[in-house]
Amino acid sequence: ANKLGKMVSLQMDGSKIELDRTILDAISDPLLHILRNCVDHGIENPSERKSLNKSESGNIKLSAYHVGEQIAIKVEDDGKGIDLQRVKDKAIENGIITQEEAKDLSDEKTIELLGTPGLSTAKTVTDISGRGVGMDVVKRNIDALRGSVEITSQKGVGTTITLKLPLTLA
């Protein structure tokens, strides 16, 4: 956040949740990538947030809780949300979908495209995020743990990414 000139508040909830060490080790990089994406792509700079009648400081909430026999880890930001048209445009540009397919693509299916290898909507490559090896690696790592990734986003309101994981790999 400092490097990007942004102000961000991180709130964490669910510290009493216990995870298998193997799962914890396997999700640390994906979680870091998600958090970096929130700061780099989601949270606007202070002046932009102010012009949108938002607080100058962006908010990210990381929470963990039980869902039946699974653990859910939710990362929410109050940033700009995912630019669905940009995702479609990049997918067309990369030959993942056609112009015709893009017209009929639902918001949910458009968001699923973010799990496609090499698809990045970043305007520039940075050391924070935006190297095109992001959400597809997150999805692949979580799938390998027999978990799932769910992404919801609302333009101008923010994005929520929920990881659902087994309690243990045993």
**What is the identity of the amino acid at 75?**
V
**Can you tell me the distance from the alpha carbon of 106 to that of 89, in angstroms, rounded to the nearest whole number?**
14
pLDDT tens digit string along 13-40? 987 888 888 888 889 989 999 999 999 9
Give the model's confidence band at 66: pLDDT under 50 very low, under 70 low, under 90 confident, else very high: very high
**CA gap 96, 121 in Å, rounded:** 13
Average pLDDT over residues 135-162: 93
Q: Closest Cα partner for 63 from 51, 48, 74, 47?
A: 74
pTM (2 decimals)? 0.88
